[in-house]
Structure 1
């Protein structure tokens, strides 16, 4: 509730706002602008309903009569409520007909506020309120705040456009609003603290305020915090004091469950009572909310579940055992596995893993749970079958624990020989698939390729997940070797198999490879569209595929960065980083790298290098081999050193790391860094040229450029043209510099490679202007009238492919190909395919 005070310019007592109140125009303006005569705020305790109503009241027109009725959640009978309402309106004792008649014939604009309406279901009072709301006086506006939704005819009001409802989620504080409360804190720390508070409180107004009062304990980096006494006292007074003892116990049990529904409650609390208790808790606004937007599953509001989620000893484990039994009966193996772990029934948890496939690895927190189970129980329990070995190995490879993965793969020898020749060959094929991925991630390309090919030749049709992973490995190796056509063929075969098996999870994993292929070909918009579509489909799944969504977010962040969309990239990098950290994914590295590049774009190199140090610290803490991260960290660092004018540091680092990727014992670059080696080489040329130590720098860059052009690597070609411009300018070949700059800018516009232009500007701030290109022009140059997809179609037309062949190669319909061709002809002003190809060559849109 909001405190009351005497208002000098209004009659009677009206509410006042706290001295810490933050005005929120995003909520107030729509409420005041709405012409609906009923405004409803329905949300749990501490959501800021009273403060929002008060803020609206204080902005009421001067000629408007204001009536404030504070109910404090009391369960009143109809007569008492009617009397209080009459008093708020300045009337004496009246009966219902007289009250309704008075409201109908109001002569003065009146705003009637009812704050904290009855918290306990009261059908008689709700029906009386419904009769009041039915009064259609044009001068009367109702403002209602409640923890529960009264039983009124809301659909009628909604259809008549007479209801404006502010959703509970909208009442939560945003990160920017929390930063307002931290105005006395250093900006960088304020941003970090606000983000942590939002993560821990989900923006719940009372939770944010308690966090600030408690010294921002929720802002600490640890996942587990000591329980806030203030928060627990708040729950006691605002929640538990209004509940019956059995409902309190039920709520506390539900707070420990990741998800629940009415049927599970019936199993836990007894038939006939469980569902009723759950319904009562929902009715009273006891912080019960949908679980991940599910229509069936519910959960307790996460910040409160976390606050009361300390160990409950043997009693708590008993509830989890009972929940595990229910999930087993429902054949919901994911839920059963989670509750078996919470109940510390580890043997049961391992037995449930027989129902898991590799797809389960990309669901929820399963990687982390599997790794914790393996570490806690050891090989004797978790490696009891080839299927378990496969699951644990995949989790270890995903997390970057290659030494442990090698030991785990070796355990397959315990299961040989198999009872038949066929089974023995399948066991060997599984070993080859797993060993192939281990070698692939360790950078040993030739050996990995041999294992992948041999495994594909032997794996049975029902081992399709292993086949998909082998094809994905071959796709990534082809990308690293700049064999884009081969990469496309492997990726297409894998996608067809995943779709034939109806596996959306594996399709999403393979689309990451597809997006890398498109990025390398200079089609980031097409890649972003592809990932956006698969993200939307995956997000609708009941079991959130957190690891996969994290990787998709990081790749979308890189694509947004490439196109100069820094604000969008920052959001993707943050969400992807959080998901990868939660899933123990080694690719969390690229979230830190993306944040570092965004900071460097703002010339905030202190923060950029801090992000790189944090990435290295995480890799070392998790004992991930330095082959995964060392090369890319040094490459990005060198990039920043060149921008800072420190070429000697860049030269030393790049020379050292390049030896790792060249020579007889060279390793391949990590799969997520397909242009790493080429970037190291051209950055080294830049550093040596600045130090006047380079030997034949232009020839070296042109060799790299020829390779990029031969393999249609448009993104790399753009970066190399701009590097040639920079080197030519440094050694005084201004004509070549001007030519390379124009070509590079044209390619940047064609392939949406704005980050490459940004990095050139950061290395050489005056170069563009010296060649007559201002910043705005450099950011918007677009000589190509065709979209990325239209360029792909035109390129295949130029190679002599028929429309049907183009449709098959691009995974689109024949009708879509014809539509693209028609648009290409229109944009280029031609009528035939041969004319389109000739014009495209002349404009430099394709090179054959």
Structure 2
């Protein structure tokens, strides 16, 4: 990574790369390709600056003179610097004037690499460096690695196209680069471990190296003590040893805060001193970076702050109390609440919750904080007000703690009677809305339907949040019943409520329902475009609703998977899993299932079942009822068993599930698993056919197909056509198999449902080869894939136009062009422009 050794056997004493070095060609290539004569690599300690300079140095042109000047961060006088530079370059004159003269008249190609330039402000040395860079010959290329950005005239160099700057964030190792160090593991496992390493280290090179050295147990939440000790020792030498006691204490305080700015530092450390402390820490490269890409807020690098927070901190409560006061004065109630909890001021925390709305639940870690407070002061919390009861119930439902949510809802009776009949009616309606969601999530459809409907009759305009949530519940129930028109009407009504209130968070939450509706109708590309737009809007908010963005990522992962975009799906599933897991969202289950399906697509069933076991373990650790996850896990397992030929297991599991979801006392499927019951039914039929004990399989599948057609559930209809083809083929009816296979393939291509075809090939490769020579040739319907406007956009893409040029040519907005491009990619099942053009030509489209 960053460990370097000198080569004393070579005359020029150039460094060489460590045996543990991980190449970063994306950085090295950009630096080498740049024609700038000054290349600045500025990043904190342990970012791999030296390794990057060495990697570039080893690829220098043959006729280039290399001068390596390691300064180890020393504070040098101008004279000392001149002497060392002259000695390195083999120059005779070491005074300022002679050195500048020699540098200006240099004619041979020369690279001067200054490693670890002076770490602490030295105005005289910075001024000389500025003069040196300004007057040096174009034949000289300066490579400067530094923790501190020297005070030079960088804007002028930038305007002269003479500066290329590689900033700290770019030096972080990517997940793929980390996976290269894990080549000894199977690919799927290496990718999984690399993801966890990246999550814990943020790609910080020194942190990655320490994690790899310790051989951590990646199934555990905590880090080995040895790794923590190593990291703390590293920070002591590389960071704290160069700071004054006041600055070191300030840095530790900031590391315990989720975010900070100059005003908060003034409040914490004193007027006139706090802001200066912050500026100094920034100048010295002390791992301070923007918070969520904000221009106003900062944070300590998360991989370091997490470790610092594990240390004993006797004075921590007083600092958190002061931070709480500042956030409360700024009306930042969520941050004030978090600081009150950290200060163990529970009464203050409860009082701050009076300022919370439902939208606060979707801010980072809010649910986790509420659950923590509930464990400490649950009774006192839910007796405070009906508003707090509703807030805590929503958090418990979000986390899947249904039993506790039921107990919480029952506390609303303590606030009866109300002072007025109207107030009492509204309180009862809110009780019905919460009870409806509890019943809905527990699978009691009739009770939920009754609660939602009755609550909507009573709730007034001021209770728009409760009304929108009731409509969302009715939308999901209609989707589960296959009543897509009813679902659409409820969803539109709820969206109008959210938009009238200007609530982007609620709008995004309801658009998730809309995306599920579009998915059932077989328009995955429209659903993806919708969610991509919503994600972009949420990403622009200062307090990003990461739990909600995690849910959106999981849904986009499912859509990408259905369209055969496995690499894209993997990114979404991993991001969504991490967000949902960190925020205790029960929907994290679908991140594990998505990753399992991707592993199964590669026939890596061992890894697929590991993902499912990890999901079950986490659900049990978090005390989530098995009604939430059992059906979805067994369905995914049965898909894999069917591909493996383990049909007895499929029959046993699917029969047991059908008893759970059908007949007297049956529960509905979980809201996030649309079409689960019919999919269970056709998997059972497929397994029974293989075991030669199916009863009227064709008729049963055709009945399911007719129901799907009647409900216009195009995704399910596609799967059922392919299932019918599979069963007909197994029973020897080649004509029927050909008919359904052709219908299924055409629907799959038309709606971009490539995963369905892939699963069929995994189960029966001989079906595709034996029944139809070109079953998936859909050039006849290819023109229907894209709208006329999308064809116009694609033609301009084929000509090499940029998005802005396309917008100008077609007189549409840049945003509209990007939307058309996303839809084109989704419909054609591709990820890049070149692939879209190639795919369109294969389909015979005129581009």
| Equivalent runs, 1:98-113 vs 2, <5 Å | 98-113=98-113
Please tell me whether residue 665 in structure 1 is matched to residue 665 in structure 2. yes
Aligned twin of 1:786: 784
Check 1:50–1:273 CA distance in 2 against 1; reply closer, same or farther (3 A cut): same
| Equivalent runs, 1:437-448 vs 2, <5 Å | 437-448=437-448
Aligned twin of 1:835: none
The 10-residue stretch of structure 1 (688-697 or 757-766) with the greater mean CA deviation from structure 2: 688-697
Distance in 1 (CA, whole Å) between partners of 2:626 and 2:206 is 44
What are structure 1's unaligned runs of at least 5 residues? 793-811, 825-848
Aligned twin of 1:706: 706
Distance in 1 (CA, whole Å) between partners of 2:314 and 2:103 is 59
1:136 CA drift (Å): 5.3
Aligned twin of 1:80: 80
Aligned twin of 1:222: 221
Aligned twin of 2:181: 181
Residue deviations 1:2-54 (CA, integer Å, cap 9, x gap): 4433464xx53322332332333222222112111110000001111112112
Aligned 8 A contact 1:200 1:218 in 2: no
Aligned 8 A contact 2:93 2:99 in 1: no
Distance in 2 (CA, whole Å) between partners of 1:515 and 1:676 is 17
Aligned 8 A contact 1:347 1:381 in 2: no
Residue deviations 1:549-569 (CA, integer Å, cap 9, x gap): 111111111101100111111
Please tell me whether residue 334 in structure 1 is matched to residue 334 in structure 2. yes
| Equivalent runs, 1:495-510 vs 2, <5 Å | 495-510=495-510
1:355 CA drift (Å): 0.5
Distance in 2 (CA, whole Å) between partners of 1:130 and 1:302 is 34
Aligned twin of 2:70: 70
Aligned twin of 1:58: 58
Aligned 8 A contact 2:324 2:339 in 1: yes
Check 1:312–1:779 CA distance in 2 against 1; reply closer, same or farther (3 A cut): farther
Aligned twin of 2:764: 764
Residue deviations 1:408-433 (CA, integer Å, cap 9, x gap): 11100000000011111110110010
Aligned twin of 1:750: 750
Aligned twin of 1:321: 321
SS at match of 1:16: strand
Check 1:701–1:189 CA distance in 2 against 1; reply closer, same or farther (3 A cut): closer
Aligned twin of 1:537: 537
| Equivalent runs, 1:38-187 vs 2, <5 Å | 38-135=38-135, 137-185=137-185
Aligned 8 A contact 1:110 1:140 in 2: yes
1:367 CA drift (Å): 0.8
SS at match of 2:324: helix
Aligned twin of 2:689: 689
SS at match of 1:69: strand
Residue deviations 1:134-156 (CA, integer Å, cap 9, x gap): 12522111111110111112122
Aligned twin of 1:383: 383
Residue deviations 1:820-844 (CA, integer Å, cap 9, x gap): 9xx99xxxxxxxxxxxxxxxxxxxx
Distance in 2 (CA, whole Å) between partners of 1:643 and 1:20 is 40
The 10-residue stretch of structure 1 (120-129 or 368-377) with the greater mean CA deviation from structure 2: 120-129
Aligned 8 A contact 1:201 1:208 in 2: yes
SS at match of 2:748: helix
Distance in 2 (CA, whole Å) between partners of 1:2 and 1:650 is 56
Residue deviations 1:278-312 (CA, integer Å, cap 9, x gap): 10010011111111111111111112212222354
Aligned 8 A contact 1:65 1:111 in 2: yes
Residue deviations 1:605-646 (CA, integer Å, cap 9, x gap): 222222222222222222222222222222222222221222
Distance in 1 (CA, whole Å) between partners of 2:628 and 2:616 is 11
Aligned twin of 2:6: 4
Distance in 1 (CA, whole Å) between partners of 2:328 and 2:413 is 32
SS at match of 1:222: coil
SS at match of 1:663: coil
- Dislocated runs of 4+, deviation >6 Å: 779-782, 788-792
Distance in 1 (CA, whole Å) between partners of 2:505 and 2:348 is 26
Aligned twin of 2:605: 605
SS at match of 2:253: helix
The 10-residue stretch of structure 1 (633-642 or 760-769) with the greater mean CA deviation from structure 2: 633-642
Check 1:111–1:218 CA distance in 2 against 1; reply closer, same or farther (3 A cut): farther
Check 1:603–1:187 CA distance in 2 against 1; reply closer, same or farther (3 A cut): closer
Residue deviations 1:433-463 (CA, integer Å, cap 9, x gap): 0011111111121221121111112112121
Check 1:544–1:450 CA distance in 2 against 1; reply closer, same or farther (3 A cut): same
Residue deviations 1:707-747 (CA, integer Å, cap 9, x gap): 11112111111011111111111222211111111111000
| Equivalent runs, 1:605-684 vs 2, <5 Å | 605-684=605-684
Aligned twin of 2:735: 735
Aligned 8 A contact 1:7 1:14 in 2: no
1:59 CA drift (Å): 2.1
Aligned 8 A contact 2:382 2:411 in 1: no
Aligned twin of 1:797: none
Aligned 8 A contact 1:554 1:577 in 2: yes
Please tell me whether residue 33 in structure 1 is matched to residue 46 in structure 2. no
Check 1:401–1:229 CA distance in 2 against 1; reply closer, same or farther (3 A cut): closer
Please tell me whether residue 421 in structure 1 is matched to residue 392 in structure 2. no
1:159 CA drift (Å): 1.9
Check 1:298–1:18 CA distance in 2 against 1; reply closer, same or farther (3 A cut): same
Distance in 2 (CA, whole Å) between partners of 1:252 and 1:779 is 63
Aligned 8 A contact 2:480 2:669 in 1: yes
Check 1:23–1:616 CA distance in 2 against 1; reply closer, same or farther (3 A cut): closer
| Equivalent runs, 1:298-447 vs 2, <5 Å | 298-447=298-447
Aligned twin of 1:801: none
Distance in 2 (CA, whole Å) between partners of 1:536 and 1:782 is 36
Number of aligned residues: 794
SS at match of 1:384: coil
1:380 CA drift (Å): 2.2
1:371 CA drift (Å): 1.0
1:361 CA drift (Å): 0.7
| Equivalent runs, 1:487-526 vs 2, <5 Å | 487-526=487-526
Distance in 2 (CA, whole Å) between partners of 1:781 and 1:685 is 32
Check 1:532–1:780 CA distance in 2 against 1; reply closer, same or farther (3 A cut): farther
Scaled by the length of structure 2, the TM-score of the pair is 0.90
| Equivalent runs, 1:250-269 vs 2, <5 Å | 250-269=250-269
1:184 CA drift (Å): 4.2
What are structure 2's unaligned runs of at least 5 residues? 791-811, 825-847
Residue deviations 1:340-366 (CA, integer Å, cap 9, x gap): 011111111111000101111111101
Check 1:218–1:148 CA distance in 2 against 1; reply closer, same or farther (3 A cut): farther
Distance in 2 (CA, whole Å) between partners of 1:125 and 1:361 is 52
Please tell me whether residue 276 in structure 1 is matched to residue 276 in structure 2. yes
Aligned 8 A contact 2:115 2:145 in 1: yes
Aligned 8 A contact 2:37 2:163 in 1: yes
The 10-residue stretch of structure 1 (387-396 or 544-553) with the greater mean CA deviation from structure 2: 544-553
Aligned 8 A contact 2:426 2:459 in 1: yes
Distance in 2 (CA, whole Å) between partners of 1:92 and 1:237 is 37
SS at match of 2:135: coil
1:185 CA drift (Å): 4.8
Check 1:566–1:265 CA distance in 2 against 1; reply closer, same or farther (3 A cut): same
Aligned 8 A contact 1:36 1:163 in 2: yes
Aligned twin of 2:209: 209
The 10-residue stretch of structure 1 (182-191 or 74-83) with the greater mean CA deviation from structure 2: 182-191
- Aligned-residue RMSD, C-alpha: 2.4
